Amino acid sequence: NAGRASQEVAALQLGIELGMTLIDTAEMYGNGGAEQIVARAIAGKRGRLFLVSKVYPHNASRSGVPAACERSLRRLQVDCIDLYLLHWPGNHPLSETVDAFESLKAAGKIRYWGMSNFDTGEMGGVWQLPAGKACATNQVLYHPDSRGIEFDLLPWCAAHNMPIMAYSPVGQGGRLLRSKALKAVAERHGATPAQIAIAWSLRSGTVISIPKATDPAHVRENAVAGKITLTDADLAEIDATHPPPRKKQGLEIL
């Protein structure tokens, strides 16, 4: 509805004012509606922003990728998307998708391309393609209750100098934010559990955290979370309640 859309535009604009200049969206979100909201929020501010959008797997063919990208550019009202991702692995050959991404890059329609929801073996498949080493990132679910990527995907990406983008860094539905460990660490830092979860996701320096927020208070919270430095004791307390993986786990996807 119009009221909610205006609230989302305002939240995005507040985030930009507070220095959060990466905006993540996708053709899937709201059937393109999210990209239209982003367009409203960034009007006149494009130069200072880094825009990320994603193509549906069923659109990720050689001809489908450029068509989907044009629709996203039109909805976003921009000439170029900074980072364009394949939303999750699909049935079209990856070689076609990557070739299409490279063509879009050459045409100036996108600056970089990457993957989303790809596990280690799938990333290896991308890397082996002729243009695969141009893959800029892999966007995956990552928070203290979802740490499976630490076993092999995070080390693989670090070894290949590829940052991870962590979506849902504060979990889903609020369960994570009731964590005793996060609450205890938050009290020591004069922060909120959500801020601690975001700071935790950023602790290695190789992860880009993309929290969602439509509430102004949450936007303000998110903006300062990156300034929190967790101590070894903080991390040990979080590990005790939210242990790291001891073996390979299937990639969790939302």
Residues with a catalytic annotation lie at: 29
Q: Return the closest-CA partner of residue 249 out of 161, 142, 170, 172.
A: 142
Answer whether 95's CB lies under 8 Å from 129's CB. yes
Q: What does the DSSP 8-state code read for residue 143?
A: B
Using only C-alpha atoms, what is the Rg of the chain?
18
Answer whether 222's CB lies under 8 Å from 211's CB. yes
Answer whether 194's CB lies under 8 Å from 170's CB. yes
Question: With 0-12 CB in 10 A as exposed, 13-18 as middle and 19+ as buried, what is 159?
Answer: exposed
Strand ranges inside 25-147, DSSP E: 50-55, 81-86, 110-116, 135-141
Long-range contacts at 4-8 (CB < 8 A, ≥ 24 apart): 4/214, 5/33, 5/37, 5/40, 7/214, 8/37, 8/41, 8/214
Place of tokens 């063509």: 103
